[in-house]
Amino acid sequence: MKILVTGGAGFIGSNFVRRAIENAFPRLEGATVVVLDALTYSGNLANLAPVAESPRFRFVHGDIGDAALLEQLLAEVDTVVHFAAETHVDRSVRDASIFVETNVLGTQRLLDAAVRSGLSRFVHVSTDEVYGSIAEGSWTESQLLEPNSPYAASKAGSDLLVRSYVKTHGLNASITRCSNNYGPYHFPEKMIPLFVTNLIDGRHVPLYGDGRNVRDWLHVDDHCQGIALVLTGGASGEIYNIGGGTELTNRELTELLLETTGRDWSYVDEVEDRLGHDLRYSLDSSRISADLGYRPRVQFEQGIAETVQWYRDNRDWWEPLRHRAAL
């Protein structure tokens, strides 16, 4: 199999690439991987360094909005896994334009190129945030889309475009929607890497509002395992939720990170809540479990301890990125 991975220099995309090159995914052994990434502020070639010398890996610096480049690359592959997206909610609140351009228009151009090329398989990687907020219970894939941030709205738009290309053009495409990811190589503007790197250095961390917002946490290895299962066994036109099964309030997560880094609550600054901040996310992953045999393997306590240790051991990776995260 020859796979084009868009956004493959980002946090989740690079994990998928490294694991694929390591032959970690059943039915993808020996696959050739081409990464297309624009290397905007959160894209990082260092994320791909462990596999950069593999003969089965190639990196292309470019944008999913470049129709001519897409035409060329899609002629060389038979499968696309589409990670490329602007993802940080806070940035979308300040300026939504790049989120619409990349997440909606970029996805549309990629879909057009996929149809023209006769691509055999397309997996679109999305987010639980498209569902909005849920007070109790968990979302199934049939839940109405009610996004509450410009980021989530742009991802919902891209999801609907993918669905339309399945129905209109017969594209063999599936959509995955994941809960909050954590793990190594996570850009230090998101909560866990921001808090961990700040606390390691004895800096304060900002906790939004009262910290009662609930998130379901999923190790990036488990997420990519789920994507690989959908790629090789998922049904066209189907949506698959991929959850981690560990729900914590942001306050509970902060307490755990304080304990793991040896800090106390004096390092926490409770700041004004973010606009449109969803209260709770929770995914029902029973479809992907029943249909494709998915189950999260990384226990949260083990995964978070290993993640904190990775940041302790890899200061040379994250310290140069701090100024980008502050923009």
For residue 129, indicate whether it is catalytic: yes
Task: List strand residue ranges (DSSP E) for 96-192, in order.
Answer: 121-127, 173-178, 180-182
- Strand-pair partners of 233: none
166 pairs with which residues across the strands?
Answer: none
129, 159, 216, 247: the active-site residue: 129
In this structure, what DSSP letter does residue 73 have? Answer: H
Total count of residues recorded for the chain: 327
The CB density around residue 128, as the number of other CB atoms within 10 Å, is 26
Give how far Cα 32 sits from Cα of 52, 79, 80, 219, Å. 12, 10, 12, 24
Annotated active-site residue in 37, 63, 128, 216: 128
Helix (H) or strand (E) holding 247: strand 246-249
128 counts as catalytic: yes
Residue from 131, 151, 185, 240 carrying the catalytic annotation: 151
Report the distance separating Cα 106 and Cα 260, nearest Å. Answer: 40
Active centre residues (catalytic): 128-129, 151
